[in-house]
Amino acid sequence: MNTKEDQLKALEAQAELEEVIGQLYQAYAGRFPDQKSFWTRLASDEARHANWVRSFRDKVVGGSIVVPEDRFRMSQVEAALNDVKDHLRRARGQALPLESTLQTAVYIEHSLLETHLFEFLESDKPELKDLLARLHSDTEKHFHALNDLLVGG
């Protein structure tokens, strides 16, 4: 990630991933009226996450935030994005059982936690560290809420 352009592409890819996850959750909200508020809340959180990531753009351009090459794997984000887009196509195109959608969502949130996809920025700025901590915390909350719903039926 030597150039600013590469860093901005990385930032946008991460934001797009958050956005598409939100679209998937919104599709699930339309499929499951009894859980609509739950899925809509998650979708709203994901849209907020995308906005947070995009808010770093000016700081990357200014150089106060760097996307280090060793912490960001574009191929990893692209693979995750393609996977979520596949799930979104299925959610829009066919009826899916609630258990299957919960398993998918648990997998997505767990993957975000395991791969640390949102911990890809480097800065000594406290506001950035705080925002990344909130992204991590929200993702953990999503994972636990989804997993609880899955195992609790």
Task: Identify the CATH assignment for 4-152 out of 1.20.1730.10, 1.20.1260.10, 3.20.20.70, 3.40.190.10.
Answer: 1.20.1260.10
Please, which residues bridge with residue 122 across strands? 66
Domain ranges of the chain: 4-152
pLDDT at 1: 45
pLDDT at 26: 98
Distance CA 124, CA 107 (A): 31
Per-residue pLDDT of the chain (153 residues; tens, 9 = 90+): 468 888 788 889 889 999 999 999 999 999 999 999 999 999 999 999 999 888 888 888 887 777 766 666 778 889 999 999 999 999 999 889 999 999 999 999 999 888 765 566 655 667 777 877 888 899 999 999 999 999 986
Distance CA 65, CA 45 (A): 23
Global pTM value: 0.89
